[in-house]
Structure 1
């Protein structure tokens, strides 16, 4: 059993490395680093579904394997399509563009290494999918349905946050303002929160005292929280918003939770989407 799991881990690592190398080629040829996140999302969907359906002792995939594969594909198609449409409408992603400016002439090499590190960091995510799909029971349990509910809640919440932000930005009267409509009044990054929430599905499906490998699924939400909250998600976006919105964004920060949705604070005395 250990050999099977370690073999899957190696296959996942190689597949993600190759796909992120492809993302580097696309980024270098188009000059639009927005396609990096598109390819990363679809890569996780492809490799994750493949890992979930990996044959068990030459047996056909069971109901749980199909369920987990369907969950990751649904997530990947929704988010990947959203990022792809966004990337098609921009010249470059400001976050990656800032990295390129900082790296200077060494940017191509450092971008390649950055994307390979991203592939390395994605291994726990796909391995969590693999482990969850292999819970040692053919019959679906309440945990499996609860995991699916959590993931679909994450997808729905993220999609709603994306729509609310798009609607806000599409109104010319809101130019230069900070969106605090709907979910954005409860969290400065509700799309990131719901993205993180979805990754809790796999520990919920897998965790059991009779399944030691299930502990590996905890790495997925832990890693996703760290990367979104402290690395490539919140910090660069907040820095960008401070530069473009200044005091408006400071007021928004003062009254709105950074990640987990909470009722807005009222002590700052600022109200409305214009703040």
Structure 2
């Protein structure tokens, strides 16, 4: 199979599944299911592009299996977490805000928005593909570093999600803001660790000496994820919701704790 054929097939599959997700939301399903579907899709696409034989793109078989396994584990953990959160909660506030903003056109725009998410999944699958196809023989130091980064990202995101879930169950309806554990170091530690994982794929793709030119293209993964989380559909709409629902408590939290990068609590308003 050629690389073009593989990515065309994956693109069609991603588009079709996200179209079905849009139809489900339009017919009344909770919009939170969209993020679960997207998480599973990115993992499935990553595993596919890492393992399917492609002409002229033969990487080390151990590296390919390792990358596919990490992509699958990340996807399963995040997707199952979102499934549990969606089952026990109401409408996702980010999607609720989008529906309100879009007004009567929300159905059409939701469909288009989810097709953009399908394109984003394809881009991220490309980063996984490049990590799996690095032609360096055997496992290199860069593979070990990349795996350690990915493992830290999966564990860190899992811990952050668990801390927030526990806080919500203990303080439901009290209007408090979670500022303990990892949430005392960053207002969005789960987003930080999600971004961190994509840097792991880039390290593996670039390899031990950086001589494989295609490997540098994997930097598109962490760069795109940073933009998405910090400037687009991650932090901005979520912070708007938190300011509306938590008011002064969240404003004080914003004054003390950095938005994305974990670090000591601040004395001045973070930028």
Q: Same fold (TM over 0.5)?
A: yes
Q: Secondary structure at the match of 1:200?
A: helix
Residue in structure 2 matched with residue 152 of structure 1 by the alignment? 151
Alignment pair present for 1:85 and 2:84: yes
Q: Distance in 2 between matches of 1:102 and 1:171?
A: 32
- Aligned twin of 1:273: none
Deviations 1:129-175 (A, max 9, x none): 01110011341112112111111100111111111112222224882
Structure 1: runs of 5+ lacking an equivalent: 269-275
Post-superposition Cα deviations, 1:64-117, rounded to whole Å, max 9, x if no partner, equal 110110010000000000001111122321111111122222211110001001
How many residues are treated as equivalent by the alignment? 266
Query: Which deviates further from its counterpart, 229-238 or 203-212?
Result: 203-212
CA contact (8 A) 1:157 1:194 kept: yes
How far the C-alpha of 1:220 sits from its partner, in A, is: 0.2
Q: Could you say which residue in structure 1 is the equivalent of 2:236?
A: 235
Q: Does 1:54 align with 2:52?
A: yes
Match of 1:31 in 2: 29
Residues 240-259 of structure 1 mapped to structure 2, 5 A cutoff: 240-259=241-260
Q: Is the 8 A contact 1:63 1:138 kept in 2?
A: no
Q: Distance in 2 between matches of 1:217 and 1:60?
A: 15
Q: Secondary structure at the match of 1:177?
A: coil
Per the alignment, residue 184 of structure 1 pairs with 183
Q: Which residues in structure 2 correspond to 1:112-191 (within 5 Å)?
A: 112-172=111-171, 175-191=174-190
Of 135-144 and 210-219, more deviation after overlay is shown by 135-144
Q: Which residue of structure 2 lines up, in the alignment, with residue 265 of structure 1?
A: 266
Q: For 2:228 and 2:93, how far apart are their aligned partners in 1? A: 17
Match of 2:18 in 1: 20
TM value normalised by structure 1: 0.90
**Cα distance in 2 for residues equivalent to 1:60 and 1:217:** 15
| TM-score under structure 2 length normalisation | 0.92
Taking the aligned partners of 1:75 and 1:7, their CA distance within structure 2 comes to 26
Asked if the contact 2:2/2:55 (under 8 Å) is kept, the reply is no
Structure 2: stretches of 5+ with no match in the other structure: none
CA apart distance, 1:230:
0.6
Distance 2:80 2:181 in 1: 23
RMSD (CA atoms): 2.1
Distance (Å, rounded) in 2 between the aligned partners of 1:176 and 1:91: 16
Distance 1:222 1:10 in 2: 23
Query: Taking structure 1 as reference, are residues 173 and 124 closer, same or farther at Cα in structure 2, changes over 3 Å only?
Result: closer
Aligned to 1:11: 9
Is 1:44 the equivalent of 2:39? Answer: no
Distance apart, 1:122 and its partner CA: 2.4
Q: State whether residues 26 and 35 of structure 1, in contact with CA within 8 Å, keep that contact through their aligned partners in structure 2.
A: no
* Counterpart Cα distance in 2 of 1:66 and 1:133: 8
Q: CA deviation at 1:4?
A: 3.6
Structure 1 counterpart SS, 2:221 = helix
Deviations along 1:209-240, one digit per CA (max 9) or x if unpaired, are 32111121000000000000011110011000
